[in-house]
């Protein structure tokens, strides 16, 4: 039984934030690389250098915004929605009934199986 859609969505969002943050690292490495190329005298890379810096900052910006949004969502939902992990001490109730039902099912099986055996035995007996 999966979690409700809303929570799935939040997880998805957090995941994308994670990925963007990670991408920023790659972007930073690209920036350093193009910078070193520029220093080497490879001036054709200048537009690329600028582009990398731009994406780095735009990523930072979007991460900032998204993260803020998520925190807002979390804030809004604390106390209003049942969250999977919360501070309320949730009790594992109803397990006793589950177990009981499970055992009753088992009991049914045992009885049925044995009835079958009994029938078989009877049939055997009748054959004889």
Partner 1 sequence: MDDQQNADQKMGINLALDPNLINLTLYNHPTATPLSGSNTSTTEPTTAPATTTTVTDANALASSTIVNNGQSMVKNPYEVYGQMPLSQLIPLILQERGQGFKFVDLSEELLAQEIANDKQRTQLSNTNPQDEHTNDNVNNTEVQPQEQQQEEESNNPDLMDIDMENEPEQQSQLPLNDTSLNTISKENQNENSATEAVGATQNPTLTIPETSLTQEQFIKIRKEMVDNINIAMNETSLSLDFVSLLLSSVRENNANSSMSTFLKKNVPTGTLNSDKVPHVPKQKDELTQLEISNRGWKLKSLNDSRLILKENYNKLNNSLTIEHSFWKKLSNHINSNDIIFKLRDKSTGQRSLGIKYGYEDSGSTYKMDRGVAILRTNPTTGKLELKPFSTSKNTKMSSSSSSSNDTIKGLEKFIRIRIFTKIESEDDYILSGESFSDIESRSGNKNANDYSNNDDSISDEDEDIRAQIENLKKFIIEKELMYQLKKECSHLLSYGVTVENENRIVIELPNEKFEIELLSFDDNSLTNHDRDAPKINDKRANLILITLRMLLVVMFKKNLRNKLLSSKVNKSLNIEKEILLIRPILGSIRHSNYKMLLKKIMKSYVLDIVPESTLEESTLPSSTEHIQDHGNTHQMDRHIVKLTKDITAFDHILNIAKTLFQISLPNKGRITIILESTNYCNAVVNIKYVSQDNTTTFDSNFAEFKEVEEFLHFIISEYVKERN
Q: Where do runs of H (alpha helix) occur along the chain?
A: 5-40, 46-77, 95-127
Distant-in-sequence, close-in-space partners of 46: CB < 8 Å, separation ≥ 6:
38
Which residue from 90, 88, 64 is spatially nearest to 78, judged by alpha carbons?
88
Do 70 and 14 form a contact (C-beta atoms < 8 A)?
A: yes
Choose, by CB under 8 A, the member of 95, 125, 126, 127 that binds partner 1: 95
Choose, by CB under 8 A, the member of 75, 80, 94, 125 that binds partner 1: 94
Give the footprint of partner 1 on residues 42-81 (CB under 8 A).
Answer: none
Closer CB to partner 1, 75 or 98, in the complex: 98
- Name the site residues for partner 1 (rule: CB under 8 A): 1-4, 7-8, 11, 14-15, 18-19, 22, 25-26, 28-29, 32-33, 35-36, 39-40, 82, 84-85, 90-97, 99-100, 103-104, 106-107, 110, 114, 117
């Amino acid at each position: 039984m999966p979690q409700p859609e809303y929570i799935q969505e939040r997880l998805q969002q957090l995941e994308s934030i994670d990925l963007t943050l990670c991408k920023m690292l790659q972007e930073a490495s690209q920036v350093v690389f193009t910078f070193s190329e520029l220093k080497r005298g490879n001036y054709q890379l200048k537009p690329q250098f600028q582009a990398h810096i731009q994406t780095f900052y735009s990523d930072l910006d979007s991460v900032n915004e998204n993260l803020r949004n998520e925190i807002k969502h979390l804030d809004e939902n604390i106390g209003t929605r049942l969250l999977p992990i919360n501070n309320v001490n949730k009790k594992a109730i109803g397990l006793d009934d589950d177990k009981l039902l499970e055992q009753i099912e088992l009991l049914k099986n045992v009885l049925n199986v044995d009835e079958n055996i009994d029938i078989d035995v009877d049939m055997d007996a009748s054959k004889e």
